[in-house]
Amino acid sequence: MTTKMRVANCGMRISWCLVLFGALAFSVLGQIPEPGPAKSVNVPAVKETKLKNGLTVAVVEKHSTPIVTVQLLIRAGAGAEAIEKAGLANLTADMLTKGTKTRTAEQIAEEMEFLGASINTGAGWNSSSVSMTVTADKLDQAMAIMSDVVLNPIFKQEELDLLKSQSLDELKASLAQPAFLANYVASVRAFGEHPAGGTSASIESIKQSDLRSFYDKEFLPNKSVLIMTGDISPSNAASIAERFLGTWKGSADRQNDRWGDPQSPGDGKVVVARILVVDLPGSGQSSVNFYRPIRTIGRGSKDYYAASVLNSLLGGGYSSRLNQEIRIKRGLSYGAGSGFGWRSSGTNFTTRTQTKNQSAAEVAELVVGELKRLADTDAAETELNPRRLVLIGGFGRNLETTSGLTAALADLYTFGVPTSEINKYTTSVQNVSAANVKDFASRYFHDGEIVIVGDYSKFKDDLAKRFPGVNIEVIKASELDITKLK
């Protein structure tokens, strides 16, 4: 045995001893230590300026490290495209770095690499973005490349053809996965939207002229925010923005962001109004999901914090209720979770898990049981407080990096939420009570839909037994056409 191998084995024995010691110490103490107090977040005030072309420049100074994160946020994403052109926002964003009037895709990548940085583009439902992190002394050079990508894309046909081919290959592979297929279907069926990544037909149909039209219509300075965090002053940021993006043309009129209005309590009496099964014969597992659109409480709503705490309690981590009930207690899945997909004036709620086909109906019933429990009983403070602290701790850690801080600000700007909210997060989360969580669940967790993707023959009878009286619709995966879903 070599010296390195002996040292490695010794290290492994020490590690296992430490684990064993920790387990023994826990068994002796007999209880989990109480969580410490929440630490407040204190982010320096966001300094804003606006260029003559309508571009907002937002800066947060953090001079502790000589780096700067820059993100250009464009308030237009997949929500601005038609279902017939689903995937257009994503393709447009991806094509920005595939060539400009003066640089090829290879030159863009090589020049950024030479600066020790990379440039990233992307599009979600609500927005598109171009971002990078670079050392402060190379910011001007990096901004020259970034502004070229933003202002001068050529949408080269050869690059588009390649990107479409890659997207179609990825989509084909993904559609064979139950979890992806469930969300793909639910985007239309449950939420009345469309897959942000596109369908095979929509991707095939997208032309160079479609990208140019989307870019010309949506990539406007008055709809955008240039966020800069790190080792930079507001005056320097404004000067850089003017120098590199001041020629960007756009309307001086800025669109107003929509804020969510309170939604009246529904009259629904049941958690599940209908069930859709996408039959995927031969599938090794089933994806079991609950979906509920909430139309009128957007990201700016006061209910956002109650929803966040509720989600942490229900499906926001290993110790959440769904994971405890489905994975830890019963061993029916490797994990279960939940989440909210926020919009300006609405949100899409989802629970998700995968299980054996034979246990799909049981898992669906367990999910519904947990949703009912949220609406019917108050969570104990001993359970709720750690979930609040998880949120606060994660939020604070994210803000420690320039990229995390930039992402948090981008979220606020996307939905028109005042940036001052960032320093109110800790207090707002701490103020969410068990009654707030229960009230949210009782108002909104009704008349939802379960979507199961898997081998229907393995759970058909059990599903009918566990959900008597609920309409169960079955569609063969091989015959699925999401444009015809209702």
For residue 329, give Cα distances in angstroms to 319, 321, 324, 332: 11, 10, 6, 9
CATH numbers and ranges of domains, the chain = 47-245 (3.30.830.10), 272-484 (3.30.830.10)
Distance CA 89, CA 93 (A): 6
Q: Model's pTM, two decimal places?
A: 0.88
Q: What phi and psi, each to the nearest 5 degrees, are found at residue 339?
A: -170, 160
Q: What phi and psi, each to the nearest 5 degrees, are found at residue 365?
A: -65, -35
Residue 266 pLDDT: 40
Q: Per residue in 148-182, pLDDT tens?
A: 999 999 999 999 999 999 999 999 999 999 999 99
Distance CA 66, CA 137 (A): 8
Residue type, 347: T
Residues near 293 by beta carbon (within 8 Å), at least 6 away in sequence = 190, 191, 192, 346, 347, 348, 349
Q: Per residue in 1-53, pLDDT tens?
A: 444 344 344 444 444 444 444 444 444 444 556 666 666 678 899 999 999 99
Return the sign of the alpha-carbon dihedral for residues 445, 428, 339, 318: negative
Distance CA 92, CA 196 (A): 12
Residue 317 or 57, more confident: 57
Q: Per residue in 202-231, pLDDT tens?
A: 999 999 999 999 999 999 999 999 999 999
Closest Cα partner for 451 from 189, 199, 83, 175? 189
For residue 124, give Cα distances in angstroms to 75, 88, 261, 266, 374: 10, 11, 23, 29, 30
The Cα angle at residue 49 between residues 45 and 52, in degrees rounded to 5: 170
